[in-house]
Each structure stands twice: as C-alpha cells, then as structure tokens.
Amino acid sequence: MAESTVDLGADDVPTLKDVESIISRKDYSSPLSFFPDHRERKFGGIIAPYHLSGTKIKCGIKSCRTPHWHGYLISTSDGYETNIGKDCGKTHFKADFTAEMKRHDALYERRLKLNRILELKKYAPNLLRELLALQSAYSELKSMRFKFRGCLSASENNRIESKVKSADATLYHYQERTKEERDAYLEANPASRKSGSVPPKEIPVGEIKGFWFLGATYKDEEIFNYINPLRQVISANKNHIAAWKQGQLNATHLWIGKSKTLIPAMESIVEQGKSFFNVDNLISLSIIGISEESLSHAVYELKKAMSSIGKSLG
C-alpha cells in the first residue's frame, strides 16, 4: 500500500497508523485539561482522524482517559496537540468539533477509496484482459444457447423453462408406484389423502451437466458493465485519479468490491456453459421430454456453428 499512498496535497492530513505516530509528534501532550477545568485552553482544530488496530490509546482529556482505537488528533488554542475520542469531542467542544469531524471523516474515506483504486490500477490491465476474455466466451455460449433453443418446439422450450425453474439438475425416470408404495405415500403425506393423487416415483438416472448455464440471465452480465470504468482506471494517471469527483471515486470503489464476487460467478457460468454443450449431455435431454429429432437437429446446428469458429462440439 505504502508506495501508492496518495498525499492529499493542500489538505496535508498526516497518516496516523499507530500509537507511536501520534505520541511522537513534537507538540503532542497527554493528558491535558480544557476549559472550564483549564481556564485558557480551548479546542484548536482537528489535525487528523486515526483508526488503530492492536494497542489502544488513552483519550488525552484529563478527566476521561478512556482507551480507544478510533479518534482524532487535535490541536489546542495554546499550541499543543492531543488525541481524543469522538464522544469527548462532541461533549467538550460541541459544534466546533462536529463540523471539523465531518470534514475529516469524509477526507479519510476519500483517501481510503483512492488508495484502493490505486492498488487496483496495478493489476487493472490483467483484469481487463480477463474480463474481455470472459465476455467473449460468454457471448459465444449465449449465441449457442440461442441456436439450441431455436431447434426446439415451443412445448419443448417450456419443458426446458420448467426444468430451469425447478433448480434441480437431476434427470429422473418416473415409475408408477405399487399398491403398497401408494399406501405408504398416503400415510406419509396426509394432505394427499383427500384427493388420493399419488405422484409417480422419481428415480434419479443422471444429471444435466452445465445446467446452471441454462438459467443465466442479463443480471449475471453486470460484471461486463465495468469494462469501461476499468479502462478509465488504466488510462488515468495517479494525479488524475486523485482529482476525480467523489461520484466517480465511489462508483469505482464500489465495483472493486463487487468484482470479487461477480468475476468468480461469471467464470463459473462460463464453465457451466462449456460443459452443457456436449453431444452426450444434449442427447440426455430426451429424458425430460425433448424429442430425439429436435436434439439431433440441435447437435447438427451446434456442430456447424462451432466449426465455423474453428472449434468443435465436445
């Protein structure tokens, strides 16, 4: 992080990363009394907020001394510095403190986001390549899915839809129940007793490979909306990024967070898609009621489409 840490320039807010960086400052003094305990000494201003981990620091107000991790280094009206917690700041210095606190918190947040974006900048070109490759793989698979669905009749497409809705990749054979099995079913499912209707027995005979690809929608494509913002991170230099408006900074920062789940999710959809388009897998869909005629038509069309881009159907 250190090498890309941005200096906020005119704001000149020091980074206080540990207790030492606070207490080693030349004007630092703790504890201190303030008005009215000390007649003369008043709040000067906030120098910087701090968010420590590990060792806590005691509040620099003499009547408080509560140890904490999060607080503010402040200056005093008589030229000292000390550190205080947010509650003490509000209690002792009221609106003077609160207004400064908001400004400093916003600045701190901005610096944090800026540094995360600069971290991203280091691996952004690799990330862009990865996203573009994913996008092209996904759009290829989508066009194959379109072709595949085009080879099915309307009622066969409905079967696919209901299978996707069931969120169950298992393929079943259905078997009528024997008299004993029917009785056992009614015994176990009191709600069915009135109608007396007993569903056939489901016998798992396999699984649709890459099943989850069938249900992928435009919502799963959100990650590709970030290709352009990523290009902006790559083309902007450090100073440009440091001057970005808060909105752009927030949006970029937000997607860095989201990309950590959206990219693996898209990678898995593409993997699913690749394993769906396999001759044996497609033929097995006859088990959910897709006719062999439609399936062999689909296999023929998909083979043709694959060979036109120099690939072959698995």
The contact set with Zn ion (CB under 5 A) reads 59, 61, 64, 85, 88
Distance between alpha carbon 119 and the CA centroid of its chain, in Å?
A: 17
CB of 168 to Zn ion, least distance (A): 58
Instruction: Give 35 or 123: the residue with its C-beta nearer to Zn ion.
Output: 35
Q: Are 159 and 290 in contact (CB under 8 A)?
A: yes
Instruction: Give 86 or 182: the residue with its C-beta nearer to Zn ion.
Output: 86
Rounded CA separation 40/78 (Å)? 8
Q: Are 104 and 13 in contact (CB under 8 A)?
A: yes
| 226, two tokens | 């970030």
CB of 49 to Zn ion, least distance (A): 15
Instruction: Give 88 or 269: the residue with its C-beta nearer to Zn ion.
Output: 88
CB of 73 to Zn ion, least distance (A): 13
CB of 65 to Zn ion, least distance (A): 7
Instruction: Give 55 or 143: the residue with its C-beta nearer to Zn ion.
Output: 55
Q: Are 77 and 39 in contact (CB under 8 A)?
A: no
CA dihedral 120, 121, 122, 125 (to 10 degrees): 100
Cis peptide leading into 31, omega within 30 of 0?
Answer: yes
User: Which of 115, 108, 93, 133 lies closest to 47, judged by CA?
Assistant: 108
Instruction: Give 93 or 276: the residue with its C-beta nearer to Zn ion.
Output: 93
Instruction: Give 34 or 212: the residue with its C-beta nearer to Zn ion.
Output: 34
DSSP β-ladder status, 81-84 and 201-207: unpaired
Instruction: Give 59 or 290: the residue with its C-beta nearer to Zn ion.
Output: 59
DSSP 224-281: GGGHHHHHHHHHS-HHHHHT--HHHHHHHHHHHHHHHHHHHHHHHHHHHHHHHS-HHH
Instruction: Give 59 or 262: the residue with its C-beta nearer to Zn ion.
Output: 59
Rounded CA separation 78/88 (Å)? 19
- Running DSSP on this structure, what letter comes out for residue 38? S
Q: Are 45 and 100 in contact (CB under 8 A)?
A: yes
CB of 13 to Zn ion, least distance (A): 21
Q: How many residues does the chain have?
A: 314
Helix, strand, coil in percent for the chain, rounding step 5: 60, 15, 30
CB of 30 to Zn ion, least distance (A): 11
CB of 9 to Zn ion, least distance (A): 31
CB of 88 to Zn ion, least distance (A): 3
